[in-house]
Amino acid sequence: MAGKKVLIVYAHQEPKSFNAALKEVAVDELSKQGCTVTVSDLYAMNFEPRATRNDITGALSNPEVFNYGVESYEAHKRRELAKDILEEQKKVQEADLVIFQFPLYWFSVPAIMKGWMDRVLCQGFAFDIPGFYDSGFLKHGALHFCGFKVLAPQVNFGPEYSSEEERKAMVASWAQRLKGIWKEEPIDCTPTWYFRE
């Protein structure tokens, strides 16, 4: 897949971790395929996860009562979002494939990655109303809402309780999957799938 651009949004503190090994194998395999791979290493970047007034560099629409959603939407239209947000949005826009690499914390992403989603995937950039789910700007959850076509997750259960051989097999399985990642079909994330009774 020469010429394709890949963004890996990576959230782990330890460079020698299992997550780091998965990130490294993705960089290696996708680079071998001729892809340009960019890694947003959120901890190494000291990425700010909190959505605050500091994210808006221009004047507020309503200085009396701060509403982050409204203010970030208006700031996006004026290109007055914080520099780190604009840089991450540019990476997302340029990517043909976005990989989120993280450990599960309480059945969810780590706070730093949730903060990345809160700040980077703002209204006006990733979605609008109307303009979400299949009409989302970025074509599982928050990602599908923004229009991403979501592939099945690669889940490795209990790597800290697995043997070295089992961990190596998990990493090898990810490397093997990446060889055919461009041919995979997205999972069913239609709005009716979310709201079935």
Summarised one tens digit per residue, pLDDT across range 19-32 is: 999 999 999 999 99
* For the chain, percent of residues with pLDDT exceeding 90: 71
pLDDT for res 63: 92
Q: How far apart are CA 179 and CA 33, in angstroms?
A: 8
Whether 178 shows a pLDDT value over 90: the answer reads yes
Residue 133: pLDDT band with limits 50, 70, 90 = low
Amino acid at 151: L
pLDDT for res 42: 98
Residue ranges per structural domain of the chain: 5-194
Whether 139 shows a pLDDT value over 60: the answer reads no
As given in the structure block, the two tokens for residue 100 are 């989120």
5-194 homologous superfamily: Flavodoxin domain (3.40.50.360)
Q: Count of alpha carbons within 13 Å of 6, Cβ hemisphere only?
A: 24
For residues 125-144, average pLDDT: 63
Inter-residue contact 131 to 146 (CB < 8 Å): no
pLDDT digits (tens, 9 = 90+) for 61-110: 999 999 999 999 999 999 999 999 999 999 999 999 999 999 988 888 99
Q: Which residue reads 């461009």 in tokens?
A: 182
Residue 55: burial class (beta carbons within 10 Å; 0-12, 13-18, 19+):
buried
* pTM (2 d.p.): 0.86
Q: How far apart are CA 146 and CA 138, in angstroms?
A: 6
